[in-house]
Chains A and B, each alone.
Chain A
């Protein structure tokens, strides 16, 4: 990563934990996970709480749909690390990697429900343009998405716009496909806490 403290500045206990994780998983801890271990009191602790609430807290959206939103927002931000990680996670959650690839390749022709498509369109516009109008939200609501679901999707959008920025700025190292799949399995089992 671009800051030496993020590569080396961990306490002995945290370094030991990284070693244990590498031994058991067969993969080094992804940089996304390392960053939340660095001075967790400043960012990691609160960030994990918010991201977990958005991605795994109560919602009418399935975990798979939420992981797809994370992958989609990451795609709009051109964040390769996060696209890989959440494409793998959404693919495992749906048990259908092709569907996820189709959405990222072309949202309009992908085989998904109208409500999810409209929601992704809205998150894409907000992320790309930095603004959103009432008419954009009305389109989502008229596709059968509830007000609460829009709120839930906006929380995911906020969480991943943060993570995408840190991934690109700090320079998270890309994961191998095997490490992405292993990370996805972990995220589906344990979430973001």
Chain B
């Protein structure tokens, strides 16, 4: 049943897909780790996990540590975006799953 929300969800999927799989300066593996906030290498771990779970606490030092590990600014740009998009995607999925359960997968409403 195509509806307007599908258009929203399709646009969101396109964003996630672009950030994960499109052309970039960070490798797809690095982007996938940042997006899932899992197995992120130590120098980048503080920055990525803060972006995902407590973004207001990100500091200059977190960026300095990422740069000192040899990443370029363009790579950090991509990985921060991947972390932000990843956490938002998890929230979106959790919300839609709760909605599906609440409405017996689309019969109501």
Q: Which residues of A are interface residues toward B (Cβ below 8 A)?
A: 2-6, 9, 38-39, 41-43, 46-47, 49-50, 53-54, 57-59, 77-79, 122, 126-127, 130-138, 141, 146-148, 150-152, 154-155, 157-159, 161-162, 164-171
The answer to whether residues A42 and B91 also contact, given A5-B73, A59-B4, A134-B101 and a CB cut-off of 8 A, is no
Name the residue on A nearest B108 (C-beta). Answer: A147
CB pair A138–B24 under 8 Å, yes or no, is: no
Judge whether B109 and A155 touch: CB under 8 Å: no
Asked whether B109 lies within 8 Å of A147 as measured between CB atoms, the reply is yes
Residues of A contacting B88 in the complex (Cβ-Cβ under 8 angstroms) = 158-159, 161-162, 165
A165-B51, A165-B55 known; A3-B63 Cβ under 8 A: yes
Q: Decide yes or no: A151 and B94 within 8 Å by CB, A5-B74, A169-B84 being known contacts.
A: no
Docked Cα-Cα span, A112 to B14, in Å, equals 34
Known: A152-B5, A168-B56. A50 touches B12 (CB 8 A): yes
Q: Given A132-B98, A157-B95, A42 and B78 touching (CB < 8 A)?
A: yes
